[in-house]
Amino acid sequence: MPTIDVIREMYNASGVHPTTDPDDPRSHCFVDRYKKHLCKLITPGMRVLDLGCNAGRLTFAMEDMGAIATGVDFAEIPILHAKKVAYRRKSQCQFIIGDIVSLPYKGNTFDLAVLPQNIGYLSYQSLELLSVQLKEILSENGIFVVIMQDELVKRAGKENLQDCYNVQAGQMRANTTIPNKGVYASPWHCWTVAFAKYIVEKHLHLQKLEQIGEYKFLLVFRNKQGNGSL
């Protein structure tokens, strides 16, 4: 089964967890962790895209910051929940089921796209395909924000690394146990900041790289079409 289908199956089986449910206070910790960084980039009326939005916790937060927010995710169950939350809140957030490496948008559709802590679900080729699309769908000087952990920094020195690491695919083998449903595969690609930066910079210009946690980093890229400084 393709990796994307394996991950989709896991997320649909797990449903909406309290830490991803926008209506549950336990999801606010994730939002608060990155809100101060996004607030510096989002301006009122900005069109933003939440890539891999799950049930929309960050999508709704960006709307609260003044953005016109859209969320996309390949798992149907979280998206259906996000739509219900939007209806109850009378929110203008839009949610679609889709693959972020095959986005259904044309040029100049968004001013900012964010990939929040989920780069590990993308293969190296997938990030390349996403970057190519963002070059097209982001506005002139549009922003691509990557919030990620550096797996080399996180896992350096761990003795069992070779037991679960696929060298050729750059992928960690892992399983997630979902109560009353079983054990599901949840593979995770090993990304470093340097490699993510290398791939995205082929298409977008790096504006900022900041360490925001023990092994977490914020990368801000700009869609700069012409010459000139960022």
Q: Report domain extents, the chain.
A: 3-222
| CATH fold for the domain made of 3-222 | Rossmann fold (3.40.50)
Q: What are the tens digits of pLDDT across the range 131-186?
A: 999 999 999 999 999 999 998 888 776 656 556 666 566 776 666 776 777 776 66
- Rounded mean pLDDT of 13-41? 92
The residue ranges of DSSP E strands in 56-154, in sequence order, are: 68-73, 94-97, 110-116, 138-149
Q: What is the pLDDT of residue 230?
A: 41
Mean pLDDT (the chain) is 89
pTM of the predicted protein model:
0.89
Helix (H, G, I), strand (E, B) or coil at 3: helix
- Rounded mean pLDDT of 212-216? 91
Q: What is the pLDDT of residue 152?
A: 83
List the one residue out of 76, 40, 43, 38 whose CA is nearest residue 59. 38
Per DSSP, the residues of 173-206 read --EEEETTTEEEE--EE---HHHHHHHHTTTSEE
